[in-house]
Amino acid sequence: MTRDPVAKLLLFGATGDLSQRMLLPSLYGLHADGLLPDGLTITGTARHEHDDAGFRDFAKHALDQFLPDDRKDETAIEGFLARLHYQPLDASNVDGFAALAEKLGDISGGLAIFLSTAPWLFGPTITGLKSAGLAGPKVRISLEKPLGKDLKSSQEINDLVAAAFPEERTYRIDHYLGKETVQNILALRFGNAMFEPVWNARGIDNVQITIAETVGLEGRAGYYDEVGALRDMVQNHVLQLVALIAMEPPARFDGTSIRDEKVKVLRSLRMIGPEEVNTHTVTGQYDAGAVKGEIVRGYDEELGKESDTETFVAVKAHVDNWRWQGVPFYLRTGKRMTDRHSEISIQFKPVPHSIFADRGGQLQPNTLVIRLQPEEYVRLLVMAKEPGLDRDGVRLREVPLDLSLTTAFAGTRRRIAYERLLLDLIEGDPTLFVRRDEVEAQWTWVDAIRDGWKANGTKPKGYASGSWGPNASVALTERDGVTWNE
């Protein structure tokens, strides 16, 4: 693709937690590896009253705290800090944007804006950028979630943004799309001849997607209690994984082709209405328990008040098209669970006839496991014969064929997802960003589930911290003869 790098990067929320943990270390990593354009300046803005020197000190402290030791290079750090500038700004006050524009100076070489602010600040921020001349044809903007809490509010935010930035200059971030293993889904599917012939309802029995966390609220109480697990995780990360697994082969690897195929999947999701929510969804909220040997409090106690917000959700979903007709997609995500991991498990259909049955050989369907975190690997479980003379029958066993990405690419540094996304923003590659029609298709499906919960008075079921969620989530799959991959 043709790259169109900008000369300036503007970070809103530059003194926040995301900036310290992810953005500044990611930008430093790109600088240290010589991947940032020569002369690119990075200007941070937030309410804090820093000057340039104060922000550089702040950034230096963040790098000291969050960079791995093997990545710390004093010369590279000094060079990176020299790129940094700062302008204090109250984004709710349009008048302050003139000073921000003056600080940025000439933007004729292109400006990329990373917007990570509270949702209620989107309107004033876009208005301020436009009034200060920071929304012209050479300016692109990236938006960090949350982008609304339902379809209506999402449309309102996107309309606000679209008034200043057309779709081709709007980059919506889902950081899961920057993960190396997520991108490897495309390489696995479309770079290997063996999978595509069976990647459909004739070859696949079911698909499972799990994003399990061991943490609780972790300082996000105010935000999380307003949204819950369905909107926080399923609406974006989980459904993006569904789209990548279920999409048709795109004509080429570019932003238009990839996103065209993803949105077709999202629009093909079967709606789950009030009649189906009790049989196709499970909600839960963690109680007190033990996680990794540590006693933890229940959600209400941690929050400090009673709440009906779900911290766990499991969904049986279907993609209604020719390729996936009749194949269930089991989706689940939760907090305070047994283990922290994100993975996709694809169970293939059994062989049509076992030649080993009369000799005592027991077959299991093949399973492909794509682990996204904390380890990164692709594992294909296949049947093999145990060594022996087989006088008492044939003994078959499931064995893994492993591709550990960490081992296979041991000489290549694993990058933070934001490194790729920030570089793509700077260079103008929209492939791994989410288009508006994708977001709206996701919200349409999620809103229907929430409306169904409301119509049925659905309340989350309690589950012990350190477990795999409510017992009802086990029944969700086992009534179909399927067991969650754990």
State whether the Cα torsion 372-376-382-388 is positive or negative. negative
Indicate if the pLDDT at residue 106 is higher than 80: yes
Summarised one tens digit per residue, pLDDT across range 417-464 is 899 999 999 999 999 999 999 999 999 999 999 999 999 999 999 999
Region at 133 (left for phi over 0; alpha for psi -120 to 50; beta for the rest):
left
> Rounded to whole angstroms, how far apart are CA atoms 316 and 208?
9
The per-residue pLDDT for 259 is 95
List 237, 280, 341, 353, catalytic entry: 237
Q: Which of 263, 390, 280, 387 is nearest to 328 (CA)?
A: 280
Confirm or deny that 175 is annotated as ligand binding: yes
Confirm or deny that 232 is annotated as ligand binding: yes
Is the pLDDT higher at 73 or at 388? 73
> Rounded to whole angstroms, how far apart are CA atoms 28 and 33?
9
Confirm or deny that 130 is annotated as ligand binding: no
The per-residue pLDDT for 409 is 62
Confirm or deny that 48 is annotated as ligand binding: no
Is the pLDDT higher at 432 or at 1? 432
Indicate if the pLDDT at residue 94 is higher than 80: yes
The per-residue pLDDT for 410 is 58
Mean pLDDT of 295-313: 94
State whether the Cα torsion 475-476-480-485 is positive or negative. negative
**Residue 46 DSSP SS3:** strand
The per-residue pLDDT for 120 is 79
Indicate if the pLDDT at residue 107 is higher than 80: yes
Active site residue 280: no
Average predicted confidence (pLDDT) for the chain: 91
At residue 181 the predicted structure's pLDDT band, cuts being 50, 70 and 90, is confident
The per-residue pLDDT for 27 is 97
Q: Which of 4, 112, 127, 22 is nearest to 67 (CA)?
A: 22
The per-residue pLDDT for 278 is 94
Summarised one tens digit per residue, pLDDT across range 346-386 is 999 988 886 666 665 666 788 899 998 888 888 888 767 66
Summarised one tens digit per residue, pLDDT across range 214-267 is 999 887 787 899 999 999 999 999 999 999 999 999 999 998 999 999 999 999
Summarised one tens digit per residue, pLDDT across range 40-54 is 999 999 999 999 999
Summarised one tens digit per residue, pLDDT across range 113-160 is 999 887 778 889 999 999 999 999 999 999 987 788 999 999 999 999
The per-residue pLDDT for 375 is 81
